[in-house]
Amino acid sequence: MTLDKLLTEFYAKNGIPKDGGIDDDTFEFKVFGLKLNLPNPEFRREALHIHDIQHILNNCDTSWKGEGFIAGWEISTGIWKHFQLGFLSLWAMGYSLWIYPKSVFKGFKKGINEIGIIDLKISKSNFMKMEYSELIRITKKENTTEMNFLQWTKFLFWIITSQIIFLFPLIAIGIGLTFIMK
């Protein structure tokens, strides 16, 4: 089945607008039990189909468990090289570590043996025509890697980095209050 058809099914199954909300000025974001409406910047709109295809590739829904898996997978495959997207993935990883740490770890572990979809540099129109089996084939690395000392070190580095990014607002408030209280 083509990715176009799979995306249509994915959007319907997860209650997402047909085009993934690419033309919307904002997107809804659920965190800490709150629904937030955040701006939908151009860099996010341009990569939205890639993120959604990653959910299909990894058979993940849009719950925080699924998002945690995808965040771990994205970081492991190197999305951090794309600064703005990497920042979003690290924030999601940081949040997800508190509620679904196993999912984040499983995503990271799977990602060490795969090529990130964004790094394939395939146009959206070509993705939409692609067969799912072809996507699986082109994202697999030839050589497999186990979670060795180097991989665990990388995972630990990204855990710490994600927590700094996720907790930064609280850290900044704490530092500010410390200076005010003196």
Distance CA 143, CA 155 (A): 19
The answer for 7, left when phi > 0, alpha when psi is -120 to 50, beta otherwise, is alpha
Give domain limits for the chain.
3-181
Residue 182 confidence (pLDDT): 72
Residue entry with tokens 């799912």: 132
Please give the C-alpha separations between residue 91 and each of 28, 161, 181, in angstroms, as whole numbers.
16, 9, 29
* Least trusted range by pLDDT, from 16-20, 67-71, 112-116: 16-20
pLDDT band at 34 (very low <50, low <70, confident <90, very high): confident
Please give the C-alpha separations between residue 12 and each of 17, 40, 55, 118, in angstroms, as whole numbers.
7, 20, 14, 23
- The mean pLDDT of the chain is 92
Residue 148 confidence (pLDDT): 96
Q: Cα 46 from chain centroid?
A: 14
Instruction: Please count the other Cβ atoms lying within 10 Å of the Cβ belonging to residue 175.
Output: 10
- pTM value? 0.90
Residue type, 158: W
Check whether 166 has a pLDDT greater than 80: yes
pLDDT band at 133 (very low <50, low <70, confident <90, very high): very high
pLDDT band at 71 (very low <50, low <70, confident <90, very high): very high
